[in-house]
Chain A
Amino acid sequence: MAIINQATKELQVKIVYYGPAMGGKTTNLVQVHDHVQTAAGNKGKLVSLATSSDRTLFFDFLPIEAMSIKGFKTKFQLYTVPGQVIYNTTRQLVLRGVDGIVFVADSQYEKMAENVESFTNLDENLKTLKLNLSDIPYVLQYNKRDLPNVAPVEYLEFLLNNRELQVPSFTSVAHRCEGVFEALNMITRMLLNKFISQGSPQYA
Chain B
Amino acid sequence: MATLPQLIEEDIARLDEELRELLTQTDATTALVIDKGGFLINSQGDARQFDLTTIAALASGAYMANQTIANLVHETNFNSVYQQGEKFSMFVVCVDEHCLLALIFKASVSVGVVKYFALPAASHIAAQLQIAQDRDPGAGLDLSELNLADASEVFKKKP
Residues in A lying within 8 Å of B, measured CB to CB: 1, 3-9, 11-12, 14, 32, 35-37, 44-45, 47, 49, 58-59, 61, 63-64, 66, 68-72, 74-75, 77, 79, 89-90, 93-94, 96-98, 129-131, 177, 181, 184-185, 188-189, 192-193, 195-196, 199-204
Inter-subunit contact B36/A37 (CB<8 Å): no
Q: Which residues of B line the A interface, CB within 8 A?
A: 1, 3-9, 11-12, 35-41, 51, 53-54, 57-58, 61, 64-65, 68, 98, 132, 137-143, 145-158
Min C-beta distance of A188 to chain B, whole Å: 5
A-side contacts of B7, CB under 8 Å: 5-7, 203-204
Q: Tell whether, in the assembled complex, residue B6 and residue A4 are in contact, meaning their CB atoms are under 8 Å apart.
A: yes
Q: How many A-B residue pairs have CB under 8 A?
A: 179
Chain B, Cβ-Cβ closest to A188: B154
Complex interface: chain B residues within 8 A of A7 (CB): 7-9, 11-12
By beta carbon, the residue of chain A nearest B64 is A93
Residues of B contacting A8 with CB < 8 Å? Answer: 12
Tell whether, in the assembled complex, residue A203 and residue B147 are in contact, meaning their CB atoms are under 8 Å apart.
no
Contact of A77 among B39, B64, B142, B149 (CB under 8 A): B39
Query: Of the candidates B53, B137, B157, which one forms a contact with A36 in the assembled complex, judged by CB atoms under 8 Å apart?
Result: B157
30 contacts between A and B (CB under 8 A): A1-B1, A6-B8, A7-B8, A8-B12, A36-B156, A36-B157, A37-B156, A37-B157, A44-B54, A45-B51, A47-B57, A66-B151, A66-B154, A68-B154, A70-B150, A72-B146, A79-B38, A96-B37, A97-B36, A97-B37, A98-B37, A185-B154, A188-B155, A195-B141, A195-B143, A196-B148, A201-B140, A201-B141, A203-B7, A204-B7
Tell me if B's interface is mostly helix, strand, loop or mixed.
loop
Q: How far is the CA of A23 from the CA of B51 in the complex (A)?
A: 29
Contacts of A94 in B (CB 8 A): 61
Q: Are B57 and A77 in contact (CB under 8 A)?
A: yes
B-side contacts of A64, CB under 8 Å: 155
Q: Which residues of B contact A6 (CB under 8 A)?
A: 6-9, 142
Shortest CB–CB separation between residue A103 and chain B, in angstroms? Answer: 18
Bound state CA distance, A72 and B147, in angstroms?
Answer: 8
**Chain A nearest CB: distance from B62 CB in Å?**
9
B139 & A3 in contact (Cβ 8 Å cutoff): no
A14 near B150: Cβ-Cβ < 8 Å? no
Please state if A177 and B157 are interface contacts (CB–CB under 8 Å): yes
- Contacting pair B6 A71 (CB below 8 A): no
Looking at B36, B40, B61, the one whose CB has the most chain A CB atoms below 10 A away is: B61
B138 near A201 with CB under 8 A, answer yes
Chain B's closest residue to A192 (CB) is B148
Question: Which listed residue, B9, B40, B58, B147, touches A61 by the CB 8 Å rule?
Answer: B58
Q: Which 6 A-B pairs have the closest CB atoms?
A: A97-B37, A71-B145, A203-B4, A199-B140, A70-B147, A7-B12
